[in-house]
Amino acid sequence: MASRVVLHVGLMKSGTSYLQQRLFAGRTALGAAGVLLWGEGFRDQVLAVSDVLERAAAGPAARGRWQALRDDVAAHPGPAVVSMEFLGPASPERIARVVGSLAPARVEVVLTLRDLGRAVPAMWSEALQHGSTVPWGEYAGGLAGGGGSRHARAFWRQQGAGRIVDNWVDGVGADAVSLVTVPPPGAPSDLLWERFCAAADLPPAACPPVPPANTSLDAASARVLLEVNRLLAPEELPTREHHREVKFRLAKNAMAGRAGAPGIAHEPSAALRERAARVRARLAASGARLVGDLADLEPVPTRGLDPDRVPDDQVARAAVEALARRVLLDVRR
């Protein structure tokens, strides 16, 4: 059995896609260093975690994947790494199931944490990619005090850092949990990677640099996607088809990362800042190891445009560019 299993459990929108791409870019070198990064690609880890968490959305492709992971981990003499943010908000019962299934290996947990100022627009962008029709102002304004709306509950389920950290500390012990703070804007580009490797005890040089991953939508593109979702809503597309056609083929492949386009402007509210302060105190009291600085979790404003007020010509331009890029991607494929 592996001597230890490192579970990188998120949180969502905390640089997870970048870290996962970098890990798999260095999978062969990690293997030469004795580290098992399970799966041929990241999707294998998605399916394995979906299997153990019993996520119906993954479908039959996930069946038996966690057992396959366990078998390979059991046969590997060195450390193993699993990175999947679905694990972050798992219930205490499912945490116990995951940890127990990996016994007798020591399970070490790494949580990457991002300030709420940047998390809010990133999570709205992600919600749009999953079909949300909630406009920006309603989304951001509904988060104060935890919020009672469906979208607020979904946000805090994924971004409730205090609760999530406490659940994992209870599951594996404080000495086995490391908190990695996402550096503030302007920090060196490799700093998050270096912090992650320090927390997971991995060789940083084994994995080559990769471009930024899973970039959020700019303000105009977000408005386009909002309107697309509103038009598609009566069609009631199955989740898998929406993910394939809208989330991946349209949003991630044809919309995200528009060069020079203004992002989503967000000024963190007083309520959000107060909540962030309470979370930092809770994290400091958790006993978990800190790699980084809790000051990095002070909410910072994001620059750009208010998506609800993007001029119509900019929205139209974003739509045309997305259409043109989608055509080129289809032709080149």
- pLDDT band at 58; cut points 50, 70, 90: confident
What gap in Å lies between CA 118 and CA 13, rounded to an integer? 9
Confidence (pLDDT) at 308: 97
What gap in Å lies between CA 134 and CA 261, rounded to an integer? 22
325 pLDDT more than 90 = yes
Domain ranges of the chain: 4-115+155-213+267-297, 219-263+303-332
Confidence (pLDDT) at 146: 59
When computed from its CA atoms, the radius of gyration of the chain, rounded to whole angstroms, is 20
Q: Which two tokens stand for residue 67?
A: 């057992």
The contacts of residue 331 (CB under 8 Å, 6+ apart) are none
Residue 125 near residue 25 (C-beta atoms within 8 A): no
Residue 80 near residue 7 (C-beta atoms within 8 A): no
Confidence (pLDDT) at 257: 87
- What CATH number labels 4-115+155-213+267-297? 3.40.50.300
- Higher per-residue pLDDT: 213 or 246: 246
Confidence (pLDDT) at 148: 75
Residue pLDDT, tens place only, 148-194 = 789 999 999 999 999 999 999 999 999 999 999 999 999 999 999 99
Say what percent of the chain tops pLDDT 90.
92
